[in-house]
Amino acid sequence: MEWETVIGLEVHVQLATKSKIFSGASTRFGAEPNTQACAIDLAMPGTLPVANEKAFRYAVMFGLATHAEIGQRSVFERKNYFYPDLPKGYQTTQLDEPIVGPGSVEIVLDDGTTKSIRIHHAHLEEDAGKSLHEDFHGMSGIDLNRAGTPLIEIVSEPDMSNAQEAVAYAKKLHSIVTSLGICDGEMSQGSMRFDVNISVRMKGEEALGTRTETKNLNSFKFMEEAIALEVERQIDILEAGGVITQETRLYNGDTKTARSMRSKEDANDYRYFPCPDLLPVILDDDYIDSIRAQLPELPDARQQRFISEYQLSEYDAAILSDNTQTAIFFEQAVVICQDAKLTANWIMGELSARLNAEEKNITDSPISPEQLANLIERIKDNTISSKMAKEVFNALWQREDKYGSVDAIIKAKGLKQVSDSSALEAMVDEVIANNEAQINNYRNATPDKRPKMLGYFVGQIMKASKGQANPKIINEILLKKLNQLINNT
């Protein structure tokens, strides 16, 4: 039997406001427990919420960036349930009148084609606190610093048909919200969390299969793994003649296993009702238009600009434009060295490899855009070869030169490339004179074999020059001299 998978995503995005959505407490990550939880966040009697304008502005920015209709009348509801990290006993959220209506984003598939993923809506809500279950003498510890942090929950249509598409969609949202500057995108700190709805059905079937929801995934990798695992589980059950139970599941990234959390029968009845403490928020056309006018450049538009402005390939442009910080780094370097292709290669190659290996963001790069640009300039003016450049790159990375100057490192390491042609000609002559047998072989070889044999001589010259000869010029001189030799006999 052939099965097909249907996936929909609910994505929680923490908005990068300074204060909470309904109180003036700080949202800074990593503070001591409960030092950023004020009386409102703790649901002390008599407190009332006052809504944060920035949260609405950020939600509107997201809506405009995803071609969505903006809900000019935004109403808050109470979603009632009891859990220790939710002091009020309800989450303030939106239901019927969310701030962002239907929209869409484009994703690029592995074969290079694009697919549009529809967004059902996105609504504003508050985050809950955190429960810590370990080591409190059988009790749970509650930290309410996160309670009241503004979130948008982005609900997609079930438009994705495999893990790759789901990950591409999630990465696209990450790229959009970080480019907009409305979320810091720090997945490890829970700034973006994914709930994945998965069902399978036989190929050609119209009706959707029973779905499960795997909750609270906080990395693209875990999401991909969790989807693969759940799809396999569902197909196994169906092929054995079983039925899928509608349930909520939890994936454990450490053990690579998932377990059922609760089935539909004990699903909460949230008893939503409009929040009497909050009036409807009305956003007028002027407000929305002023936000539209200030929208920063989005990844798709930036990619197109990189292609037209810097003549980058679609692939290079996509990679460099995806992350705002990478794009800024790239453009700062290009302004100085004026070579987009080389800059792209160095950022996507050496720099990315080193950053990934040390799990660093580009904003933490020990090498600045200026330094990278200086390095590229020295490659371009033939001061150093690409191989030497890697050595300089390493020295910059290790901060060997306290001023971080590319030229100082080149000088200190004696890395100057020999491009002076009279010096190089002498080296070529010497190698030709010392390798009579190989020269004869070269002479007697058919022209199609010769380019390969040339490498031997270049190698000898590079060795003689201790790697400092300019290989490009060596090649030119060598070819010229060898041709002379052959023509003269």
Compute the least distance from the CB of residue 40 to other proteins, in Å.
8
Binding mask 72-111 for other proteins (x = CB under 8 A): ---x----x-xxx------------x--------------
Compute the least distance from the CB of residue 146 to other proteins, in Å.
13
# binding residues, other proteins (CB under 8 A): 54
Distance CA 299, CA 191 (A): 19
Compute the least distance from the CB of residue 101 to other proteins, in Å.
17
Q: Which of 53, 157, 314, 430 binds other proteins (CB under 8 A)?
A: 53
Q: Which of 111, 269, 359, 448 binds other proteins (CB under 8 A)?
A: 269
Compute the least distance from the CB of residue 176 to other proteins, in Å.
21
What region, left, alpha or beta, does residue 135 occupy, with left being phi > 0 and alpha being psi -120 to 50 degrees? left
Compute the least distance from the CB of residue 177 to other proteins, in Å.
17
Among residues 290, 66, 298, 86, the alpha carbon closest in space to that of 175 is found at 298
| Contact yes or no for 385/470 (Cβ under 8 A) | yes
Asked whether the CA dihedral 293, 294, 297, 300 is positive or negative, the reply is negative
Compute the least distance from the CB of residue 83 to other proteins, in Å.
7
Nearest to other proteins of 84, 451 (CB atom): 84
Regarding beta strands 73-74 and 77-80, do their DSSP bridges make them parallel or antiparallel, or are they unpaired?
unpaired
Nearest to other proteins of 218, 460 (CB atom): 218
Using the rule CB under 8 A, give the single segment among 60-68, 134-142, 167-175, 345-353 that binds other proteins: 134-142
Distance CA 7, CA 161 (A): 6
Alpha carbon 222 to its chain's center: 15
Q: Which of 101, 102, 253, 274 binds other proteins (CB under 8 A)?
A: 274
Q: First CA to last CA across the chain, in angstroms?
A: 73
Q: Which of 67, 109, 114, 136 binds other proteins (CB under 8 A)?
A: 136
Using the rule CB under 8 A, give the single segment among 137-145, 194-202, 318-326, 470-478 that binds other proteins: 137-145
Nearest to other proteins of 269, 359 (CB atom): 269
∠ CA(209), CA(212), CA(213), 5° rounding?
A: 140
Q: Which of 11, 281, 376, 379 binds other proteins (CB under 8 A)?
A: 281
Distance CA 123, CA 10 (A): 11
Residue 103 bridge partners (DSSP)? 119
Distance CA 189, CA 30 (A): 9
Compute the least distance from the CB of residue 304 to other proteins, in Å.
32
Q: Which of 5, 7, 8, 56 binds other proteins (CB under 8 A)?
A: 56
Q: Compute CA distances 354 → 14, 244, 349, 405, whole Å.
A: 29, 45, 9, 19
Q: Does 308 bind other proteins (CB under 8 A)?
A: no
Compute the least distance from the CB of residue 99 to other proteins, in Å.
12
Q: Does 128 bind other proteins (CB under 8 A)?
A: no
Q: Which of 114, 116, 131, 484 binds other proteins (CB under 8 A)?
A: 131
Using the rule CB under 8 A, give the single segment among 264-272, 336-344, 417-425, 453-461 that binds other proteins: 264-272
Regarding beta strands 247-252 and 212-217, do their DSSP bridges make them parallel or antiparallel, or are they unpaired?
parallel
Binding mask 23-42 for other proteins (x = CB under 8 A): xxxx-----xxxxxxxxx-x
Q: Does 17 bind other proteins (CB under 8 A)?
A: yes
Task: Count Cβ atoms within 10 A of the Cβ of residue 243 and give its class: 0-12 exposed, 13-18 middle, 19 or more buried.
Answer: exposed
SS (H, E, C) 328-358: HHHHHHHHHHCCHHHHHHHHHHHHHHHHHHC
Q: Compute CA distances 420 → 132, 382, 410, 426, 456, whole Å.
A: 68, 10, 17, 10, 22
Distance CA 136, CA 84 (A): 15
Q: Which residues, other chains included, contact 332 with Cβ-Cβ below 8 Å and sequence gap of 6+?
A: 369, 370, 373
Binding mask 234-263 for other proteins (x = CB under 8 A): ---------------------------xx-
Interface with other proteins (CB under 8 A): 17-19, 23-26, 32-40, 42, 44, 50-56, 75, 80, 82-84, 97, 131-133, 136, 138-144, 261-262, 268-269, 271, 274, 276, 278-282
